[in-house]
Structure 1
Amino acid sequence: MPDWSYQTLFRPLLFGLPAETARNFTLGAMGLLSRLPGGTLVIKTLGHMESHPILESEACGGLRLKYPVGLSGGLDAHGTAHRALAQFGFGFIEIGPVTVREVTDDRPIRREVSREALLYPDVGANEGLEKLVQRMKHKQGHRLPLMFRLRPMPGASPEQAQAELRQMMERLAPWAAAFYIDSVDTGWPPEETAAYLSAVRQASREAAPGKPLLLYVAPDDPADRLQALFSRVDAAAWEGIVVGDAIRTPEGFVIGQEALAPGVERVKQLRQLAGPEPTIVLAGGIHEPRDALLAVEAGANCVQLHSGLVYSGPGLPKRINEALIYEKVREAESPPEAPFWRDWGWMCLLGLGMVIGGILAWMIAATSVMLPYDVLYLGMDQTMLGQANRWLLGFMSHDRVTLAGTMISIGILYYQLARHGLRKGLHWTKTALMTSGLVGFSSFFLYLGYGYFDPLHALAAAVLLPMFILSMRARTDRPSYDPPNVANDRIWRRAQWGQLLFVTLGFALVVGGVVIAGVGITFVFVPTDLAYLCASAEMLADINERLIPLIAHDRAGFGGALFSNALAVLIIALWGIGQGQRWVWWTLLLGGLPGFLAGLSVHFQIGYTDFVHLLPAYFAFLLYAGGLILLYPYLMRRPERSIPSAEAMLTRDIVPE
């Protein structure tokens, strides 16, 4: 459920349901998908969070994190979708709060969309220690570090709380990467809280030796209370501090964007009190990448997401990671680009070759239609075929013109992906080129399905294949030096619709390519083809026994080329849509025009205008045009390079849906 589907389709539907019903349905669906064969691969493919060493960090005195973004425990309290969520770009997962016995609350969770908030009657509700231990004994389905947030039972004394936390640390130590020690809402004065925390620190050395401890505080804890507490607590004895995500109100607890402002203030205060060594995690109010940037600017090492995933979508951790990468490299000098002849230039030449070949093929298909070796293979020339069936040459022309237009489209896509992506070391562009190219070259064997060997296609493949192989040597381990989107503004939301249309177009073209290739090597004709030709397959075979294999070769070739083209379009739509990436918009525009122009114009030129036959092309063109219109503002406007001031970000208005 990436952002382009969540923001456009699923969020409006889910927000029409009660909050808990929507949450349980969403987590259940994601969890089910992740457990199906290939489900995790599907989730990775749709989200495509690229790992980069520049994001790796050491937290909590030695814990290695792949990403500095964590998942808050309250979002998926039962771990239903942890396997799926682990693919979104999270570096760790919080589990909790955990108490020794179950804590229940039957009051419903509510949403307040205008505030981008979730209202929990009791954020301490949980399944209890024993049920959690039984769940942990089952395979987790991921390897992310688990941070268990431990809290005493409501109303416990400091002595009882100490015993409870020791018991929980002993039971959960086999699975814990670290423990959050939750002292929120205990009601104890600072001196008792400090003594309790010191005792817990000592107990952890025996119950869970080597496990980091992080102190968990509330974002709305008064500054003077924290000042008093840390005057009695040795901050150096703790590996970190977590500023939570819940703000207390008379009606319960609010988890939402309004926790950002007090949370950032607590981060600043705690960094001054604790010094530079302890890891600080901000868990409240992170709804946009710029919220995470503000947290880091204030002194946080990591952030955790809860309500931000609900309101922004599952792509938020990836967007935050991309923003953090850019902040690390923005002042550095971009490394030199690879020389033209080393790798990416070969793909540019391949693309140009496809464009030139497609233009020549279009010219031939629109005039003589048949090549000399076609005449030799059939033993019939154009005149004889026209005499046998007056519509036959037009039909063959329509197959070959559409193939030529698709070749030109592929050539443009390949050139652009190499010139603007492979040259800069962008990983997703190499994946797009490799996937599309492997399918395209493999589809050559479809031409042989009916025993017809096309020497021109064989020659083209022999010339272009070495260029493809040479281009795949390109290194794609460099981060992007282009500023990413950091705000959930209207342009971003509008772009989600444009991306949805292009992803739909990509999948539709994939299906179309497979179907056309499949028909080409089996039935060869669809009913509307035979209606246009005013003949049956048997009648065409009677004209010449080699005629159907020749037509099948054209159809299978077009299907394979369309499939190859569709994969490139689909990967661009899935992974290449980024704010300010003007070249992506021009690639989609220029790459689509030849295919649509060839496919639609030749049908009207030869009079093959059956509405049902052309309906898929009409539908695809609407997706193409609509996607370009909706993506234009997002792809053409570069995001701001500078981070807005803290005051401006903390006081920004929330736009109601």
Structure 2
Amino acid sequence: MPDWSYQTLFRPLLFRLPAKIARNATLHAMGGLSRIPGGSLVIRTLGHMEVSPLLEGEAMGVTFKYPVGLSGGLDPQGTAHTALAQFGFGFIEVGPVTIDPIDEEAIIRDAAQESIIYKQIYANVGLEAIVKRLKGRRGHKLPMLMRLRHMPGRTPAEATAEMKEMLKQLSPYAAGFYLDISDASWSLEDERLYLSTVMESARLLAPGMPLLLYCPLDAGKERLAAWLDKLEEAGAVCDGIVVGDAWKTEQGYVIGRGGLQHAIQLTSWARQACGDALTIIAAGGVHEPEDGLALTEAGANYVQLHSGLVFSGPGLPKRINEALLHRIVEHEEVPQPPSFWQGWGWMCLLGISMIIGGIIAWVIAATTVVLPYDLAFLCATPEMLNQLNDRLLPFMSHDRITLAGTMISIGVLYYQLARYGLRQRLHWARTAIMTSALFGFSSFFLYLGYGYFDPLHAAVAAVLLPMFVLSMRDRKEEPYRKQPNMRNDRVWRMAQRGQFMMVSLGFALVLGGIIISYIGITDVFVPEDLAFLMTSPAVLEGANENLIPLIAHDRAGFGGALLSVALGLLATALWGIQEGQRWLWWTFLAAGLPPFIAAFSVHFWIGYVNWWHLTPPLIALLLFVLALIWLYPYLMRAAPAVPLRIHNRERAS
């Protein structure tokens, strides 16, 4: 469920449901997908979170692949942890965990304020059920930081006994613990004594394991200072502080966008008070990438998401990771791009060759239609074919012109991906070309399905294949260096609709390529084709036994080419769309026009105007136009003129 589908389709539907039902439906759907064979691969493919060693870090003896974590309250039963682990999270909070179950009460979603109100913030299934779940298959390798909380109404002594039992049972599964010790029914001194006692017990029961003090968002810096002072008096040291995400109101416990400024202030104070020794995880109000950067500017080492994932979408952790990565590399010296012949230049030449080849094929298909070796295979002349059926050559022209348009599209796509993607050593661009080209070259064997060997296609493949191999030699990867999108503004939301349309077009064309290829190597004709030709396969085969193999070769070739360009387009639409990438909008336009012009012009030119037959390309054209319209402002928008760090300081102040 990437942002382009969540913002466009699923969020409008889910927000019509009660909050609890919508949450459970979403978690069970994602969890179910992750448990079927290949489900996690599908999730990773749609999101394509690229691993960068620059984001990986170690704190408190724990290795975090990414600096973004998942709040335990978002998926309290761990239903979709396996799926969520593919979104770009570096750790998962489990909890709050209490010794006994606490029933969940009403959940209210306030879309206008982008907040979630929980009547019971500590709802969970209890220690026994959580331990039972953890003994089973986790489905992911992310470190789990467990938030421990005593039951409501307990005395400090009773709470201490509960915390000891939870520490003992959860230590085999935890990478660290959040100690949630606040209790409105206790005095501040009770909390201080309880904290020092629990910290001492935790060091004995979970030796060497990170212990972090959990500070609710509305606790305030005075209360946090009192806790830290008590630890210092007792000679106890915590490994970090967690700035929570909830604050209490008359309606209940609120988690949402409104908590960001409180989180920034509390994080900033904690960093100033504790210095660099402690790890700080901030979890309040992160709904946009710039919110995550604001918290790290204030002193947080890691951020944790809850309500932001609901209102912004599942792509938020990836977007924050990209923003943090950009902050790391923005002042580094930009490495020299590889030389033209090191890799990307060969792919440019391959793309230019495909464009030239497509133009030549278009001219031939619009004039002579058949080549000498085609006629030799048929043992016939164009005149003989016209006598056999005067619509035969126009029909073959229709197949070959659409193939030519697709070849030009592939050439444009490869050239642009090479010049702007491979040259910058972008992982997604290399993957897009690799996927498309492998299927494209493999589709050559479809030509042989009916026993017809095309020497020209074989020669072209023999020339282009070494170019492809040479272009894939450079396997170095560089992070994306232009500033990624930071805000969930109107232009970004519009771009999600545009990306949805472009991805839908990619999937539709993949399906079309598969269907056309299958038809080409099986039945060859669809009913509309035979209606246009006003004949039957039996008549054609009886007139010339090599005629159907030749037509099958054209159909399979077109299907293979369509599948190749569709995969390249789909990968680009899934992974490559970034704010300000003007070249990408022009790539979509330039690569998309030739196939549509070829398809519609040849059908009207030869009189093959069957609206049922033309419905799929008309739908594809609609998707294409809408995608270009909605993506235009986003891809054409220049990067913000004000540096983000200055912007964040102004916001924080």
TM-score, scaled relative to structure 1: 0.97
Q: Helix, strand or coil: the match of 1:142? A: coil
For residues 627-638 of structure 1, what are the structure 2 equivalents within 5 Å?
627-638=627-638
1:604-626 Cα offsets, whole Å, 9 max, x none, are 11010110111111111111111
* Pick aligned residue for 1:149 from 137, 147, 167: 147
Report the counterpart of residue 119 of structure 1 in structure 2: 117
The amino acid that maps onto 2:13 is: L
Q: Helix, strand or coil: the match of 2:13? A: helix
Shift of residue 156, structure 1, vs aligned partner: 1.8
Report the counterpart of residue 611 of structure 1 in structure 2: 611
Shift of residue 650, structure 1, vs aligned partner: 6.0
Shift of residue 58, structure 1, vs aligned partner: 1.3
1:279-309 Cα offsets, whole Å, 9 max, x none, are 1011110000000000000000001100000
1:18-37 Cα offsets, whole Å, 9 max, x none, are 00000000000000000011
Report the counterpart of residue 621 of structure 1 in structure 2: 621
Q: Helix, strand or coil: the match of 1:281? A: strand
Decide whether the 8 Å contact of 1:430 with 1:476 is kept in 2. Answer: no
Shift of residue 597, structure 1, vs aligned partner: 0.7
Report the counterpart of residue 390 of structure 1 in structure 2: 390
Shift of residue 482, structure 1, vs aligned partner: 0.9
Report the counterpart of residue 515 of structure 1 in structure 2: 515
Report the counterpart of residue 72 of structure 2 in structure 1: 73
Decide whether the 8 Å contact of 2:181 with 2:191 is kept in 1. Answer: yes
Matches of 1:628 and 1:428, distance apart in 2: 21
The amino acid that maps onto 1:104 is: D
Decide whether the 8 Å contact of 2:2 with 2:315 is kept in 1. Answer: yes
> Aligned pair count?
649
Report the counterpart of residue 268 of structure 1 in structure 2: 268
* Pick aligned residue for 2:182 from 181, 184, 205: 184
Shift of residue 476, structure 1, vs aligned partner: 4.0
Decide whether the 8 Å contact of 2:501 with 2:624 is kept in 1. Answer: yes
Shift of residue 639, structure 1, vs aligned partner: 2.9
For residues 494-533 of structure 1, what are the structure 2 equivalents within 5 Å?
494-533=494-533
The 1:256/1:363 distance shift into structure 2, 3 A limit, reads same
Matches of 1:231 and 1:238, distance apart in 2: 12
Matches of 2:530 and 2:283, distance apart in 1: 64
Decide whether the 8 Å contact of 1:230 with 1:273 is kept in 2. Answer: no
Report the counterpart of residue 300 of structure 2 in structure 1: 300
Matches of 1:161 and 1:274, distance apart in 2: 27
1:391-444 Cα offsets, whole Å, 9 max, x none, are 001000000000011000000000000100011010000111000000000000
For residues 258-337 of structure 1, what are the structure 2 equivalents within 5 Å?
258-337=258-337
Matches of 2:415 and 2:647, distance apart in 1: 40
The 1:195/1:236 distance shift into structure 2, 3 A limit, reads closer
1:291-336 Cα offsets, whole Å, 9 max, x none, are 0000000000001100000000000000000000001111111111
Report the counterpart of residue 251 of structure 1 in structure 2: 251
The 1:236/1:595 distance shift into structure 2, 3 A limit, reads farther
Matches of 2:623 and 2:103, distance apart in 1: 48
* Pick aligned residue for 1:645 from 644, 647, 652: 647
Report the counterpart of residue 433 of structure 2 in structure 1: 433
Report the counterpart of residue 370 of structure 1 in structure 2: 370
The amino acid that maps onto 2:143 is: P
Shift of residue 474, structure 1, vs aligned partner: 1.9
TM-score, scaled relative to structure 2: 0.98
Report the counterpart of residue 655 of structure 1 in structure 2: none
Shift of residue 163, structure 1, vs aligned partner: 1.7
The answer to whether 1:57 aligns with 2:60 is no
Q: Which moved further from structure 2: 119-128 or 404-413?
A: 119-128
Decide whether the 8 Å contact of 1:121 with 1:252 is kept in 2. Answer: yes
Report the counterpart of residue 91 of structure 1 in structure 2: 90
Matches of 1:219 and 1:473, distance apart in 2: 51
Unaligned runs of 5+ in 2: none
Matches of 1:645 and 1:538, distance apart in 2: 73
Report the counterpart of residue 132 of structure 1 in structure 2: 130
Shift of residue 108, structure 1, vs aligned partner: 1.1
Shift of residue 599, structure 1, vs aligned partner: 1.0
Report the counterpart of residue 215 of structure 2 in structure 1: 217
Matches of 1:189 and 1:226, distance apart in 2: 14
Matches of 2:87 and 2:127, distance apart in 1: 28
1:80-118 Cα offsets, whole Å, 9 max, x none, are 00000000000000011111111224x310111111000
Shift of residue 191, structure 1, vs aligned partner: 3.3
Matches of 1:638 and 1:330, distance apart in 2: 16
Q: Which moved further from structure 2: 155-164 or 522-531?
A: 155-164
Report the counterpart of residue 171 of structure 1 in structure 2: 169
Q: Helix, strand or coil: the match of 1:53? A: coil
The amino acid that maps onto 1:272 is: Q
1:443-493 Cα offsets, whole Å, 9 max, x none, are 000001111000000000000000101111122421111110010000000
1:30-57 Cα offsets, whole Å, 9 max, x none, are 0000001111111011111111000011
Report the counterpart of residue 654 of structure 1 in structure 2: none
The amino acid that maps onto 1:269 is: W
Matches of 2:510 and 2:476, distance apart in 1: 26
Decide whether the 8 Å contact of 2:410 with 2:591 is kept in 1. Answer: yes
Decide whether the 8 Å contact of 1:191 with 1:229 is kept in 2. Answer: no
Report the counterpart of residue 23 of structure 1 in structure 2: 23
The amino acid that maps onto 2:176 is: A
Shift of residue 126, structure 1, vs aligned partner: 1.3
Q: Helix, strand or coil: the match of 1:141? A: coil
Report the counterpart of residue 381 of structure 1 in structure 2: 381
Shift of residue 647, structure 1, vs aligned partner: 6.6
Q: Helix, strand or coil: the match of 1:88? A: coil
Shift of residue 230, structure 1, vs aligned partner: 2.3
Matches of 2:361 and 2:623, distance apart in 1: 27
Report the counterpart of residue 7 of structure 1 in structure 2: 7
Report the counterpart of residue 46 of structure 2 in structure 1: 46
Q: Which moved further from structure 2: 343-352 or 218-227?
A: 218-227
